[in-house]
Amino acid sequence: MSPKPNGAKHTHSAPPESASDRARPVVHQRGPEIQPYGTVVNAPIGLNEKVRSHSVDSLNQILADTITIRDLYKKHHWQVTGHTFYQLHLLFDKHHGEQDELVDTIAERIQSLGGVSLAMAHDIAETTKIERPPRGRETVPVQISRLLEAHELILKQARTMAKQATEAGDDGTNDLLVSDVIRTNELQAWFLAEHVVDVPVVKSDTSEDAPASKPESAKAARA
């Protein structure tokens, strides 16, 4: 190497980072949102912004109510009591799992439309239309009634929103609402409703108030 000219400054390179420095996580970071809630970004799916924005708003309402009924199922799964405990303990958990799958499907549809899906519990609580239950345990008929009312609320909303999506040309949102949300909630509502039909458990009702029907031949013989 040729010697440095007189007066030239010597530069010193920074010491290399140690392996532990390179592996250290960068924590406590904060920054601005990259997309505010309530907005939609351009999504190349052949739907204009107005249509996508309306569908996102509708789906976020359905998402909030689906998360709420999902959690209501888990609450009742833990707190159910009585002689039907085992059957309902399993049924409530099965329905919870099916609603949890719906939550993911709805949220992903919102994101694919260019929107922002609700996620956090406090946001869900502010948005859902389902009545908040008490913290304590309730009887089985009340638990089932709460769930049936929640199912009906979701179904009414989903049918209206599905029709609106079809009219706007958003077939993907319509398909999700009909094939997933409506069919799942209708089936679960049926399974629940059959548990609160007031029928005899051990013996059929043979009282005078509900006489058993007699064959026509026996009536003719007495005539």
Handedness of CA 121, 123, 128, 133 (dihedral sign): positive
d(CA 131, CA 98): 21
d(CA 95, CA 70): 8
Q: Is pLDDT larger for residue 2 or for residue 195?
A: 195
Average pLDDT over residues 87-107: 98
* Dihedral angle over CA of 108, 114, 120, 126, nearest 10: -120
- 110 in Cβ contact with 52 (< 8 Å): no
Q: Which two tokens stand for residue 74?
A: 């888990």
- Residue 5's pLDDT band, with cuts at 50, 70 and 90, is low
Residue 27: its pLDDT value, please? Answer: 95
- Domain extents for the chain? 46-194
How many CB atoms are closer than 10 A to CB 31? Answer: 5
Q: Give the count of alpha carbons within 13 A of 121, CB side only.
A: 4
Short-list 155, 150, 157, 147, CA closest to 192: 147
Question: Which homologous superfamily does the CATH classification assign to the domain defined by 46-194?
Answer: Ferritin, core subunit, four-helix bundle (1.20.1260.10)
Residue 114 CB contacts under 8 Å (≥ 6 apart), including other chains: 40, 41, 42, 43, 49, 52, 56
d(CA 98, CA 104): 10
Residue 223: its pLDDT value, please? Answer: 46
- Residue 50's pLDDT band, with cuts at 50, 70 and 90, is very high
- 105 in Cβ contact with 34 (< 8 Å): no
How many residues would you count in the chain?
A: 223
Chain-wide mean pLDDT for the chain?
90
Give me Rg for the CA atoms of the chain.
Answer: 30
Residue 21 CB contacts under 8 Å (≥ 6 apart), including other chains: none
Average pLDDT over residues 43-63: 97
Assess whether pLDDT exceeds 60 at residue 221: no
Assess whether pLDDT exceeds 90 at residue 177: yes
pLDDT > 90: what percent of the chain? 79
